[in-house]
Amino acid sequence: MTDQKTFTDERRYEIVQRVREKRRVQVADLAETYAVSAETIRKDLTTLQEAGFIRRTHGGAVPVERSATELGVRKRTMFTAEKHVIAARALAHVPTSGSIFIESGSTSLLLAELLPDDAELTVFTNSLPTAISLAERPKTNITVVTLGGRVRPLTLGEVDNFALRSLREIHVDVAFLGTNGVSALHGLTVPDNAEAEVKRAALGISHRTVLLTDRSKIGTVSLWRYGSVEDIDIIITSEVADAAEIEAIRAAGVSVELTENSPSNSDRT
């Protein structure tokens, strides 16, 4: 990613934090703070509003309820490079043979794309993009099994009774999960109840459970709670995630692996 792209990504992330802390920000003040034009800040606010992080007002922005937002799978371009690094780190927890579960989500999809073709793996997934990505490989030892169920258009993840029944019938070596929010106090949360039901069931199907999450999910609380942080064995996230929240999660007995956040891997739209 270019230096300009990285600067834009970091500026927008800081703007979200300012909005949440101050409850209201003004375009003119942000333009002065970041030494950019008012038009640049307006573009930033438009992008952040489309992603569900803030709500634009006349001359500025205010926060939205975190529980009210859910981004479609095709729009999950926030922190793309950071997610790549997290996915690459997760590879260390993939067995050379055996079975794994990969949940629907943008970071989980990146992990699936990194799986080596020579791995003797059975991959269960409720993610159509993940299943297609793996199944389309011309030469691979990976066997792909989908859960079935209703497909949510927003996430392209399978949910409801068929998916839940499949989860009750499997047990894998490692489950790689995603989330919309993770908090030591409020636990693991998502905006949709059907997704929460699947995630709740997925917490009990493996010897080891690994949560893959970028910085924006750490400390975020969404609408439906499906588990506590203690239900997770390992959380992989960025070193720039909320330090106080990471400390609280570790105090709960959860292992947290932090990936390096360098200028080359800190992008987002």
Name the more confident of 236 and 153: 236
pLDDT of residue 163: 97
What mean pLDDT, rounded, does the chain reach?
88
Same domain flag for 145 and 222: yes
Q: Per-residue confidence at 265, pLDDT binned at 50, 70, 90?
A: very low
Task: Let me know whether 21 and 123 are in one domain.
Answer: no
Q: Report the CATH number at residue 152.
A: 3.40.50.1360
- Residues 75-85 pLDDT 10s: 455 678 899 99
Specify whether 122 is located in the same domain as 181: yes
Reported confidence tier of residue 68, pLDDT bands at 50, 70, 90: very low
Same domain, 218 and 200: yes
**Which residue, of 31, 64, 97, is where some domain finishes?**
64
pLDDT digits (tens, 9 = 90+) for 18-55: 898 888 999 999 999 999 999 999 999 988 887 667 88
Tell me: pLDDT of 1 over 50: no
Residues 146 and 193 in one domain: yes
Pair 31, 79 in one domain: no
Domain boundary among 38, 64, 90: 64
Residue 101 lies inside a defined structural domain of this protein? yes
Average pLDDT in the 116-134 region?
Answer: 96
Domain assignment present for 91: yes
Task: Say if residue 13 is in the same domain as residue 102.
Answer: no
Q: Report the alpha-carbon distance of residue 109 to residue 130 in Å, rounded.
A: 5
Question: What pLDDT was estimated at residue 268?
Answer: 37
pLDDT in the model for residue 6: 54
Average pLDDT (65-83) is 61
The domain that holds 59 is classified in CATH as 1.10.10.10
- Based on the number of CB atoms within 10 Å of its own CB, is 21 exposed (0-12), middle (13-18) or buried (19 or more)? exposed
In a domain, 69, yes or no: no
Q: What is the mean pLDDT of residues 136-150?
A: 95
Express as a percent the part of the chain with pLDDT over 90. 70
One domain, residues 151 and 42: no
Domain edge (last residue) among 37, 64, 91: 64
Residues 9 and 114 in one domain: no
How many residues make up the chain in this entry?
269
Q: Please indicate, yes or no, whether residues 155 and 92 belong to a single structural domain of this protein.
A: yes
- Output the CA–CA distances (angstroms, integers) from residue 211 to 101, 163, 167, 223, 256, in the order listed: 12, 20, 17, 19, 9
Q: How many domains does the chain have?
A: 2
| pLDDT confidence of residue 3 | 52
57 and 78 in a single domain? The answer is no
Indicate if 200 and 261 belong to the same structural domain.
Answer: yes
Reported pTM = 0.77
Q: Is the pLDDT of residue 209 over 70?
A: yes
What does the pLDDT average to over 207-216? 95
Range in 89-93, 153-157, 159-163, 248-252 with the lowest mean pLDDT: 153-157
> How, if at all, do strands 25-26 and 60-63 pair?
antiparallel
pLDDT beyond 50 at 2 = no
Domain that holds residue 12: 3-64
Where does the pLDDT of residue 264 fall: very low under 50, low under 70, confident under 90, or very high at 90 and above?
very low
